[in-house]
Amino acid sequence: MKVENYGERGLDNGIVLKLLSAINTGSEKKQLESAAGISSKQLSRYLQELIKGGLVGYDASDGTTLKITEKGSRFLISYERVAASQTKHEPPKGLFDLE
């Protein structure tokens, strides 16, 4: 599976992740703006790209509620794993600590 880089489209990958997380928890559009720290115009652009990329869609039951797709869930999990693995881990201090 090819991992999308939304930075190539002029979008901030951090905002994409914040939006996916917020949509995954059932946030409304105003809450999405707040969670990502963007304007409604920016939100529209991000949502358009996320829908076009197949990461987000509308709930079939009402056609207005945003839902994260299976592809979006996999994308979110993959990026969370990468972020978790990039956190700096300090070795335990103890007997062999030279400082």
Instruction: Residue 24: give its domain's CATH number.
Output: 1.10.10.10
What domain range includes position 60? 6-86
CA distances from 80 to 16, 35, 60 (A): 12, 17, 28
Average pLDDT over residues 25-49: 91
**Which residues have a Cβ under 8 Å from the Cβ of 76 and sit 6 or more positions away?**
17, 20, 21, 24, 68
Residue 44 clears pLDDT 60, i.e. is over it: yes
- Whether residue 28 is contained in a domain is answered as yes
Q: What is the pTM of this model?
A: 0.72
Average pLDDT over residues 23-37: 88
Predicted confidence band at 2 (pLDDT cuts at 50, 70, 90)? very low
Take residue 37 and report the two structure tokens written for it: 């720290």
Give the separation between CA 48 and CA 60, rounded to whole angstroms: 17
Count of domains observed in the chain: 1
- Whether residue 33 is contained in a domain is answered as yes
